[in-house]
Structure 1
């Protein structure tokens, strides 16, 4: 799975506006379909109050947050699986991302063209999901035809074909009905057998409701519709006002942004929620290193052990890993300094089998 989030949706739902606010690197945004042709890519800092607190307690020359990649992909329309609009290019780009961030228009505005000339979140979601399912169906059909012929070959090849055919049959039925492959609940062994198909509808989905300024802190019937659909799919939902987020992103300082948020009645930017949701959905977690030269947040995969985490910093750290000095950031917050953490017996020496926890502060011992 790619370690990035692909922003998808129908044309003119606010994808590029949200991407620009996320990355503070303006993507082309305009009031006509297919304005975004080639995918825009942005590395986005992951807001982390724990890092801010670490910096307060361990002053440093340099602060480096964790990052996650977002990709703004061309708008999709009905028929994309057959090449309509920019369908082929869209589908090629979307296969490369790890998580789908589906932006759904949940606001009325006669000045902004909707590709279907109506605001209907359920229909918009169905259009995207059907096109993705049909694209996957084409992929599965090709593999099914190939594997079916393999059942007539030598015994070992036939055995391998027999193992994968029932999975392909399930996929054909599900995708043919416009239902995502992830809804089948395939186990790890089954997923390994079809991994090389790179099915789009196996990717996790996050729904982003793009609302108007009046709806950001009030009820919105369109949002209710999206939340219901997401709940049925086991997907997450984030509510964002793209217009407000663009205005926040244009402000120069964190203080100005905090003041703006307070003025519009928000505790946190909707984009921060989206960044955190995308980061977690990708299975990414954070450990920290801290010292007088640099306080830094490092990204690792949930379940990684200490040598793998060390390899995030440098491959030599993983190759020559000996041990890691570890304590949790909450211990630092409780005791107020590294010295007091040590005095309290909270600093530990961990070996190669230690599974790193989100929020660990680590120092690696290694030998080249």
Structure 2
């Protein structure tokens, strides 16, 4: 085998072993987004649609996101297809903008288009570059700007979970800790039992990594009172060390032989808060390489915020997660952006003698993006905010 073949084989093995994150850069572009971009490409955007502080030119930096750059040039960051359409010829793929590229506005006839030039003479990055002749290849697609910073969403992909209450009650459970400890934390060894028909096992094909959840809490629609689902509280992670078993216990004189049940052994490898007996185990889900393309829903959506994710949290701030009472049955998908409306207060008109009560109008308070939809509920990340968000606040299309 030649050295080149060895390098290629090594690269292929690493790609299979680690599922190279280049896969995560395969962002979708919907037909509607492309149509919007093509329409804008013909004439640009009105100067009135530009952000008041839009720079004449900008050099892309490491750590930038498409959302942030869109917000730099346009009044509404979720309208990134228009940013793309401002330079459709040079930016063939809106998800292939790299640090070092220079973007500048070309204003003419009351409209603006976005141009691009390289900060150096090396041209646009190529598909691949060899970083070590005897180690591996690294795709420069990994360096392309993400739409949003992935660290804002990744921790929540497997933490909050909407479950069927009966399914959670049937899941394996922690029954005891070593030395009868009441509170359990990272590094502790504990014991667990599965359902009667499916005991915990280390047999081939059975899960070994688990997430730990506490009792499910009903999430109720603030508008109708309907129970939309149950949210299980994430408390930690565990590794299955030994499966459940049983043995015949030594029989005492004049006693019949009996069978002793031996619970499974698990080690706590992460703890968000103290774990205790009775907490439930669900298999660790596979890592999701999901691409989020912020965009407005294609049809009208109205709803409400059901809850703020996190223990004892009443108000949500920027980059926090909320649950909304709309899901896949309402047409919501990952990436859909919605406006948050702050409910207007009820005040008393103290000028007239009747002291009439008045309901102030709802005011726009920010934007959120759906990143994990279920049938009737969705988890959403707050992208922008001017004031605290609380359950009961309204959501609607961003326009």
Could you tell me the TM-score, scaled by structure 2's length? 0.24
Structure 1 or 2: more helix by fraction: 1
Could you tell me the TM-score, scaled by structure 1's length? 0.26
Structure number with greater CO (CA < 8 Å, separation at least 6) is: 1
